[in-house]
Structures are given as structure tokens and as C-alpha cells.
Amino acid sequence: MNGKRLNLRSVAIATLAACALATTGLAIAQSRTDVHRDAATRNVGNDPFMMEYARAFYCNLADDNNQIVLNSRGWNYPARSGSDPAYRIPKTQIFDDVWFVGNHYVGQYLIKAPGGLVQVDSGNNAAEVEAYNYPAMLTLGLSASYPLKGMFITHGHGDHDGGAKWLKDNLNPEIFLGSADNVSNTKSYVPTPIDSTDLSLRQMSIGGKSFWILPTPGHTAGSTSAVVEVMDHGKPVRVLINGGQSMSASSIPAVSDYLDSIERTYVAVKALNVEGVMTPHIYWDGEGQKIREILANGRTKPSQHVYGHESVVRQMVIARECSAAWLSRLDATTVLPVWRYNTIEFVGAPTPTNTRVKVQNGWGPLSNQKVKLSVAQTGASCTATTDANGMASCAVHPLRPHKDRLVATFEGSESADFVDLPAETSAMVCSNGNCKSK
């Protein structure tokens, strides 16, 4: 991970005086909770899809709205006792080399790799896997020469690894699971452990497919997230697999771990330029809606599961604020700075005489902040400071129309109250101001 990184885990922990009234502590906790809930909303921007899914589900506990999660789990109940086609989603191709198999609550991803299939998670139980996953694998070429080579289990709950024993017994893939979810070696499918004590991002091969693995404890101690590169209409795209989306309802240590995991996932998403999502609980971030769109109208280009890098980043920032809101409610001694998602945009297309940019977020324009303008082709650069309206401009020489790409960078800043996150944009330099920023 190259380049300057903010100290994203810097927090101010304030302990209330021992003689403070309990009601005072509750009031402080409630006010901090509301600050972070409001921040989650402001970080959504003007995206109704993200408001309906990521904001609602990640903040369900802090919003006293856990019923939306309980309602979603209702889609899975028939899967626990048998197979009900009314609750199933047909096998759906979401990328060139990835198919979804599952129901409206939880599912698995089948990835076609050169040497065989790789599956993410294993289904609820043996009956479900035999009825749905195995036939799906056959349609994708499963055979003695093209086997199910590997499985990545996001965590050790039964709706994610309940079918692993059947798959191990019948198809013999190597199955990977976070070590903290099998501390007593009770898993009957005997997984290959991913070291849950090593919280670093690293690459590893699963069934011949390269995964960037990131242990993300919180939902369970062994929850593990990953980034995998897939193909979308012939183009490589990196997608996030979230290892565990629900926070604990009462455990302060687990929620603290969850918060830390979300912050580290944000860093990984930024570093790897993640553009898409394929998470087992498809209702959480709206993937279920995307799958319904594919089934109704076919895949778009780019595919529906390519959310765009900034949308995935924004989703992680929302999740962070929802996590901070819930931790603040559970623990009145916790005081965390607010994370603010920022945008930087050119004001009009850049030309040799116009290099104006604006930096802003859900709270308004950012003033008195440094912005760097640089030319990708030549390395020429200058630095400006934003005014009260978040505007900044400086002269970069030379700027060649239709040859140079101008890059505008806000490196972010920190205070006791806020972490203003980095932002960047770029656009080709124009002579007439008619070209658009990208």
C-alpha cells in the first residue's frame, strides 16, 4: 500500500468521572450515537439506493430497526428444513466467470478458475447443496478433470458452512476458514486455517484462484473478508467479499473489533481499487436488487455488481459510522471522531487558464485545506488552499490541451472531531472547456 495514509484508527477515548450520574452517561452516549448516525446519513450523499440498503442495514441496531434484518432472515427458514423453490433465486451469472446460487437471504458464489471451480461459502445444509449447488456446478463443467478445487468460508456460522461437510465428502475441495472459528477443531469438514491473529492484508491461493485475504473479526472471531479479481465483459474487476456484516447486539469487545475491521476494510478497498461487491448476504448492500435486475433484463455493461470504486468506498465509510454509533451507545466512555467522505471536483472542465476545483462533503464545503494539482504526463504540479466555499486553484505549467491529464488530490486531514478522508479526481485538459471530468 503505497502513498501517505491517514492514521485512521486514531481515536480520543474519554473516561467519565467516577462520580458522574448514570443518567448523564446515558445522555452523552445517546448524543454521540446520534452524531454518528447523522454522519452515516450525510455520507450517503444523494444515492437513494445506498440509503435504502447500506445505510439502513449497517445502522439497523443504532436506528432501533433490527426488524429489517429479522424480516430478511425469514427468507432462509425453509432452507434450514428443506428446499423450497419459492425462496430460491435461480442460478444467476453476475460476471463473466462468477455465478450466484442461493436464496434471498444468503447465497454462495461459484467462480470458474482455469484449473477448476472455487466456491465462496457452502450453503445451509447438505440437502440444499445437493439439490442446488451440485447441479449448478455440473452446468459449469464440473468433472473429474475440472473439479471443485477450493472453498473460501467467510465465517463459521451454519448458514455459511452448513453444506461444507457434504462438499468435502463428495467433491473433496480444500476448504479455508478463519482459525478463530475452529479453535477446538470441532468442524467436521477439517478446514485449512487462515490465521485469524494476523490482521494484515495478504494474498493466498484458494483452489488456484488468488484472493487478497483480510481477517475481520467482530461478527465472529474468525470472520474473514476478501478481495478477488473477476472478469466483467472481458475486463478485470476487483470485488469485495464482506466476511461478516452483522454487529453484536451487546458485546462491546466484539463491536470494537467489528469497528476496527471495517476501518481496515476501508483501507484495503482504497489500496486495491475495489470496484464491485459480491457478499453472501445479498440483501445487506442491495445485491439482491441487482440480481433481480439481471434476471429481468440481463447483465448490463459494466455488470450490475460493479458499483464503482467510490461507491464501494462510500459504503465502507457508512458502515464505519454505523459501527461507531452502535459502539457509542453500548459504551458511554467511547468518544470517536467522525469519518467524513469527501469529493473533489473540477469547476468546469480544466483548461490552461482554468484549474478550479471544489472540495466538499455532506456537511458542506471544506475551507482552508490543501489541494494538489498535478499533471500525470509531465509531473508538473502546484498546491492551493481552499477558500470558504471549498474552492481552490493554482497555475500548473505547462498544460497541453488534449494531451495532459490533470489530477486533483485532497490528501485528507484529521482533528479531534473529524477524520476528513482523502479524495481525488482527474480530467483531460481542454482548449474549449467542453470535455467532461472523469
Q: Do 269 and 366 share a structural domain? A: no
Secondary structure string (H, E, C) spanning 348-362: CCCECCECCEEEEEC
Lowest mean pLDDT among 1-15, 48-62, 341-355, 418-432: 1-15
Phi, psi (deg, nearest 5) at residue 6:
-70, 155
Handedness of CA 168, 176, 226, 230 (dihedral sign): negative
Helices (H), 178-308: 252-271, 287-297
Q: Write out pLDDT tens, residues 77-94.
A: 776 655 666 789 999 999
How many Å separate Cα 129 from the centre of its chain?
27
Q: Do 272 and 289 share a structural domain? A: yes
Lowest mean pLDDT among 23-37, 172-186, 252-266, 300-314: 23-37
Q: pLDDT category, 150, cuts 50, 70, 90?
A: very high
339-346: average pLDDT: 98
Domain stops at, among 307, 336, 365? 336
Q: What is the DSSP letter of 280?
A: S
Residue pair 147/138 in contact (Cβ under 8 Å)? The answer is no
Strand order in the sheet with 405-410: 381-385, 370-375, 405-410, 423-428
Strand order in the sheet with 202-206: 202-206, 209-215, 224-232, 235-241, 276-277
Q: Write out pLDDT tens, residues 193-251.
A: 999 999 999 999 999 999 999 999 999 999 999 999 999 999 999 999 999 899 999 99
Which residues are registered as beta bridge partners of 177? 193
In one-letter notation, the amino acid at residue 438 is K
How much is the pLDDT for 433?
Answer: 54
**Residue 398 belongs to a domain with what CATH number?**
2.60.40
By percentage, how much of the chain surpasses pLDDT 90?
85
How much is the pLDDT for 78?
Answer: 74
Q: Do 313 and 352 share a structural domain? A: no
Q: Write out pLDDT tens, residues 355-412.
A: 999 999 999 999 999 999 999 889 999 999 999 999 999 999 889 999 999 999 999 9
Q: Do 314 and 415 share a structural domain? A: no
| 248 domain-assigned | yes
| 361 domain-assigned | yes
Residue pair 239/230 in contact (Cβ under 8 Å)? The answer is yes
Grid coordinates representing 344 are 473533489
**Residue 329 belongs to a domain with what CATH number?**
3.60.15.10
Lowest mean pLDDT among 18-22, 92-96, 146-150, 394-398: 18-22
Domain residues for the domain of 404 are 340-428
Residue pair 407/373 in contact (Cβ under 8 Å)? The answer is yes
| 10 domain-assigned | no
How much is the pLDDT for 338?
Answer: 98
- Number of compact structural domains in the chain: 2
Residues 6 or more apart from 277 whose CB is under 8 A from it? 239, 240, 242, 285, 287, 305, 307, 312, 315
Q: Write out pLDDT tens, residues 44-53.
A: 999 999 999 9
Grid coordinates representing 403 are 494531451
Q: Do 345 and 325 share a structural domain? A: no
C-alpha to C-alpha distance for 99 and 142, rounded to whole angstroms? 14
How much is the pLDDT for 27?
Answer: 61
263-280: average pLDDT: 97
Domain stops at, among 287, 306, 336? 336
Q: Do 303 and 218 share a structural domain? A: yes
Q: Do 107 and 254 share a structural domain? A: yes
Look over the chain and give the mean of its residue pLDDT values, rounded to a whole number.
91
Which residues are registered as beta bridge partners of 406? 375, 427
Q: Do the strands 391-392 and 364-365 form a parallel or antiparallel pair, or are they unpaired?
A: unpaired
Q: Do 347 and 326 share a structural domain? A: no
How much is the pLDDT for 29?
Answer: 61
Residue 438 has pLDDT above 60, yes or no: no
| 162 domain-assigned | yes
Q: Write out pLDDT tens, residues 168-190.
A: 999 999 999 999 999 999 999 99
Q: Do 176 and 62 share a structural domain? A: yes
| 4 domain-assigned | no
Q: Residue 79: in which H helix or E strand, if any? A: helix 77-81
Residues 6 or more apart from 117 whose CB is under 8 A from it? 110, 111, 137, 140, 141, 142, 146, 147, 148, 149, 207
> 266 versus 17: which is more confidently predicted?
266
Q: Residue 222: in which H helix or E strand, if any? A: none
Q: Do 331 and 270 share a structural domain? A: yes
| 395 domain-assigned | yes
Q: Do 310 and 367 share a structural domain? A: no
| 72 domain-assigned | yes
| 93 domain-assigned | yes
Domain stops at, among 336, 367, 391? 336
Cα radius of gyration (the chain): 23
How much is the pLDDT for 406?
Answer: 96
Q: pLDDT category, 436, cuts 50, 70, 90?
A: low
C-alpha to C-alpha distance for 59 and 258, rounded to whole angstroms? 13
Give the CA distances from residue 202 to residues 8, 28, 214, 265, 382, in Å, rounded to whole numbers and listed in that order.
19, 39, 7, 12, 35
Q: What is the DSSP letter of 117?
A: E
Helices (H), 280-394: 287-297, 309-330
By percentage, how much of the chain surpasses pLDDT 70?
90
Q: pLDDT category, 76, cuts 50, 70, 90?
A: confident
Among candidates 209, 199, 213, which has minimal Cα distance to 154? 213
